[in-house]
Structure 1
Amino acid sequence: MTQSANTIHSAKPQVSPLFQKALQKLESTSVDTLTAPEVTDGPLYSDWRHVSSCIDFPELSALVRVCAALPRRLEDIARILYKPSAITIIEAPDPDLFDNCAHVLERGVLSLVGAEYDYVPKARVFTESKSSNRASRSLLRKRRSESLPTELVSQRPTIVVVQNRQDLSPCLRAAATGCFLLPSLSAGEVNILFRVTRGISLKAVLPDLLCKLPGDEALAGLRAEDLYAALRQPTSSGVSNALWQAVNSKNVDEVDGALDQVIGLGAARGQLEQIAEDLLSWKSGDLDWSELTRGLLLYGQPGVGKTLCAQKLAEQCGAHFVPASYAEWQRHGHLGDFLAAMNKSFQEARENAPSILFLDEIDAFGDRKTAAGDNANYTRSVVNALLEQLDGVGKHEGVLVVGACNYPSFLDDALVRSGRFDLKIEMPLPDKASLVDLLKLHLSIEIDEDLLASLAMKLVGSSGANIAALVRKARALSRQRKRVFSMKDLENVVATSVSSLSDKDVRRAALHEAGHAVVGYMTGKGVPTRARVGAKGGKVDFAASASLPCLDTLESELATCLAGRASEEVFLGSASAGSGGPDGSDLAMATELALKIEVSYGLGDSGLSWRPICSENLTELMADKKLSDRVEKRLQAALDTANSIVLEQRTIVETLAKNLIEQRELSGADMKHILQPDEASALSVPARNAPLQQEADPQIPKAGMGS
């Protein structure tokens, strides 16, 4: 679309001179003209004498919206639509209006232009409907590599009626000189339709009807048949009641306690319960929409239940659930199809408010800053389109957007700013207690608690999806062996499917995580909130770090990152590969942080010049020998600090490791008991690095072996 063809959004429907003249024109050309009855009495005379219009409901509705979208004056319509070579796109989101829009344009509005300005050529109108002629369908077919159809080569003005302009061929969109968007159903339109069909003066006001109608947001979600059925009611109150009934029939029943069905939410449960309570308060009229959270981002490892959480949130507050994802939109085809599918999802959410629009795998959109290569323009286009949609839906009451991703650090900064996703909630892997609850949920049989606890300990580090899959596999095993399902089947599946560490590796992993915990505590990060050792390694979680850290805080973070490696060296004589490996490993996080200190934060020995750091340019930066040496020196100093603390506090490290080996998971309270056995003998902690209390930043990495 050229810059001159920006979409012109319609005004509110009103009884304009253009509408009245176009209505008269349509009535004069109708093949189904109503004539006044010859008799002046009889059982039906009093009913039919009030019916003044011979135009059907769909045509009237289309005329109201077309006149609301186009300029008010006939002169302005002629100037825009009838310029030489003009191509005008009229977007009609309601699919029931295609044919009727074309009809009221040709027989009503454009006929007026032709009568007033007889020197302009007749405009041609094309629609997307199945009944369109061959030339029309050829015009609308999406063809990237072909030129415009022959019909468009002439200078005759052309008007295209389409549900979404992205459905048109790129060359046609580029050639368009104007684009008008038809409005959705509103109270103003209902008022006009009621008056026209009842023969009431168009200058009359019907406050008794308008004040009783549902709001425009609710009306916009109704189907055409709901409107037409309501308009058949004989009185204004009947019309209003029918529309309210149609709106209420779209409502979703609230399921009290639906979020209770999501196991392992932890601290996130309170925040989600508050969102549900706020949505219910808005529905009852006790809370203004401006007071609600603008958007919610759920992030965490695959399988932790982000989709289930969004579904249950919708159920608890009685909202429609509209699922969508990057992959679902992309499968429709090229960029135009992608954007059209995206628009359809957002439109569905608006039409079914109150609703929750769930955007899965939102991190697949990427970041415009790091987009490179052949896909850079594509990435920028889809991210820009998503931002535009989010801003647009933010203006409509009743739509809460919930995004979900595995890697929040991959998201574009503009996407996660306040006003788009106000609240960011991490969904952790389930703890041991939650694993027991998940096993009970999926097994649905009475099981010995000790056996469940034993299985849960072996499954530490598994997600809810992993547990469900294991139970399904165990049931399949029992069916295969032609026997009733028993816990023995599940034990066999866990033993064969869940990779387990040897006793030697478990001890190494426990010492590794204990090192992170103790060094983090001693450098001012506070008592860890959780530590675990599972089949794939371990992890230690801390509360959020300072949002504006100084150099000493960052150096403490470096020491904590390398503390697992230091602990292995102190207790076992050498380090394993557990500190390194993929993105997110201890060495990867420490290297990136040391680089940022040098070239991004202005806190190193590289001066004040700034350079961006991302996965794509790490190799290039580290190729600088002087910079690489400074980073290595900083990392070695952090490792020395960690070694020193582990040696000084080796008893505490060993105690933590022993508890991790026995229990596989420790809570913050468990570790506080070890790190602070009593107030009198609590370990002294340098106050200079005490962390600030704030909402967790999803981009702050967590230390852990193999995490």
Structure 2
Amino acid sequence: MNDDKTPGNPWVKSLLIWVGILAALALFVSLFDSGKKATAGTAIAYSEFLSKVNEGSVKDVKIAGDVISGTQSNGEAFKTNAIPDPSLVGRLTKANVRFSGQPEESASIWLVLLYQALPFVLMIGLAIFVMRQMQKSAGSGAMGFGKSRAKMLTQKEGRVTFDDVAGIDEAREELQEIVDFLKDPTKFARLGGKIPKGALLVGSPGTGKTLLARAIAGEAGVPFFTISGSDFVEMFVGVGASRVRDMFVEAKKNAPCILFIDEIDAVGRHRGAGLGNGNDEREQTLNQLLVEMDGFEANEGIIIVAATNRPDVLDPALLRPGRFDRQVVVPRPDIEGREKILQVHTRKLPLAPDVDIRTIARGTPGFSGADLANLANEAALLAARKGKRLVAMLEFEEAKDKVMMGAERRSMVMTEDEKKATAYHEAGHALVSLHVPGCDPLHKVTIIPRGRALGVTWNLPERDRYSTNMKQMKARLALCFGGRIAEQIIYGMEELNTGASNDIQQATDMARSMVMEYGMSEKLGWLRYRDNQDEVFLGHSVSRSQNISEETARLIDQEVRRLVEEGETTARKVLTDNLDELHKLAEKLLELETLSGDEAKLAIKGEPIDRDRARSDRPAQIVGGSSIPKTKRPGIGGAAPAGA
């Protein structure tokens, strides 16, 4: 929480402190030098002073201790240091010089004490000032080590409301109820209802969990404290628990309020999940959090909102009713949601007339809110780089390719043989996708290096897909091997390169999932042979699949190999039966480097490709989205660089 309760501008306060320190130093120097200030006048030797007295050129003299000062007949002042001279008075009298004496002033006892104490006072004050500044720096000071690091969110700038949150209407409605309760508690208390004490936002990264929390703060109009789960955990036992206590103490002072804990899985992991002793500091912090959320003392008026993308690792005590009463799922948006999100992120962009938000939304299934925000930003940057005043549909298409497949690496120098091998590799993928039923429609194929791939074949589903059947997965297996089989047919086994490593990895993982997770093997039946997540013990990953027998493991390997070989056989038959089309498509790729799905169909028919017409019709040809949006891989059939 905010430790500094002093009102006013902190910069002005620091400036006043330093001005005071400098003024005190100046005062000390002036006091120290005041006792040493000499009388004004020209300093002369004592012998010269006596000569002037004898000459009669001295008008008057003042004797003050060890200093003799006076004025000459011409009005010039002088001064000299006195020495013991009993005859001085007689000489002055004889020369008719007017003289007077001034007693020596003794120093005040208070002034002496001030001289002695002022340096120590200044040093002590400076030390206190430095210690206070250290304690304010995020609890790094010795006295503030156990203080909470939660910060109160202010709405002076960048206020976010539910109008800025689109595409996740169900989650927004559930959280709207919390906002309504904070605005009008009697509406719910009238019928005996109680508002949930906590809401857990669950969703993939980038789906808008933190944005939803900021919108709650903007709508509710109550104090909103935010903290990350990692801010509680320290290497010293008890610090995290102390910070939790201090956080709730500050929240009670500002109740009703909302307390947002981001990435709560950093502190709320399942207790005892591991071999040997667990992290006592983390478990103590979690225990204190559980007690504060729902213990003997009720925290009325404090609503806790937390976010995580790993709800499976949270402790069950944290998820029970009374603590996090609601789990609000924040999913990836559908086409309607993506359209609304794009409208939010493009409303500040100067869009060209040809930009169709609906078309862009159709072409990005699986994109999260953060992905769509990045897409709009990349499109604006591309338009600015070209010196345009409006962001056109062409920039959105290029931005989508860059976000999903990586930036083009046109500066990468490839030999003609490597370029030709990549063309046949990608042509093999594209031809299989055009001839095998169940494959997603071909959207684009390119031999321009993107990201880590030397080429990419991009297949897009026609609509949002929430499940995949066996026919589609087998077609996808065949698609994976289209590139390798094409290279083998053209160059032979001895000339195969490492470009198909990513294809083989995807095919193997898919076949193993079909057998061990999806129950798509008649020999193994509808049994699950591994968990979604491996458990981690003392730094080693231990898979549950180790509990199966050796005979079952052997049968799993046989079924995985059978599915992979079926995909190879399908791809080989398609490419062998359509070898002429393979050559035509590869030649056109070598000529144009990038072909859309429609252009690829024209190429295998031997028909000419009109690029100007295709570019004008391009927006209408966009359908679906990346078939693998969650992993952000470059696409099925991306030829990996050598050695990948």
Give the TM bin, normalised by the shorter chain. Answer: 0.3 to 0.5
- Of the two, which has the highest radius of gyration? 2
What's the TM-score once normalised by structure 1's chain length?
A: 0.41
